[in-house]
Amino acid sequence: MNDSVPRDQPTIGHPWPARRRWMSILARSTAERIDALLAGCRPVPAHTILRGPEVGLVMTRGRAGGGGAAFNLGEMTVTRCTVRTETGLAGHAYVAGRDTRRAELAALVDALMQDPDRAAEIEAAVIAPLAQDQARYTAERAAKAAATRVQFFAMQTMRT
């Protein structure tokens, strides 16, 4: 047994899996869509930008075969932002690319999702529709890929 990890602490997963989920959804959404969905909510509290939005580079890492030795794959442009709402909640966001507005909006939604009084509303009005958009897009891409799939077994039986 590994004695370096205290027994009262979980050893797997993210400390806040729900936050990990909504941040993933926000990171893959567009600024225009997030803004449009936020407009349908109660008034958003004023917020102050604590850091950023600023654009920079991160080194991406890969593994040969998914489990081999790690190697530097290349650099990727990201934008980060940290905001604080007037209620004192801080939100953070990192998004791929150079879209500073998207990073700010994602950080704002992150802060709003941490407010127990607003979390259910923001989940229903912003996060759930964004997740549905992304699921629909994934299904459409899968359908397009399936349409071009080659049935090698069928080709082999046609030759014999």
The yes-or-no verdict on residue 34 having pLDDT over 50 is yes
Residue 44 lies in a domain: yes
Residue 90 lies in a domain: yes
- pLDDT category at 14 given cuts 50, 70, 90 is low
Following DSSP, what letter does each residue of 10-66 receive, concatenated?
--SS-SSHHHHHHHHHHHTS-HHHHHHHHHTSSPPPPEEEEEEEEEEEEEEEEEGGG
Residue 77 lies in a domain: yes
Give the per-residue pLDDT at 18: 85
Residue 108 lies in a domain: yes
- pLDDT category at 41 given cuts 50, 70, 90 is confident
Residue 33 lies in a domain: yes
Q: Which residue has the higher pLDDT, 1 or 88?
A: 88
The yes-or-no verdict on residue 84 having pLDDT over 90 is yes
What pLDDT, in 10s, does the model give residues 86-104? Answer: 999 999 999 999 999 999 9
pTM of the model: 0.77
Give the per-residue pLDDT at 89: 93
Q: What is the mean pLDDT of residues 44-51?
A: 91
Residue 141 lies in a domain: no
Residue 152 lies in a domain: no
Q: What is the mean pLDDT of residues 49-74?
A: 90
Give the domain range for residue 49.
17-136
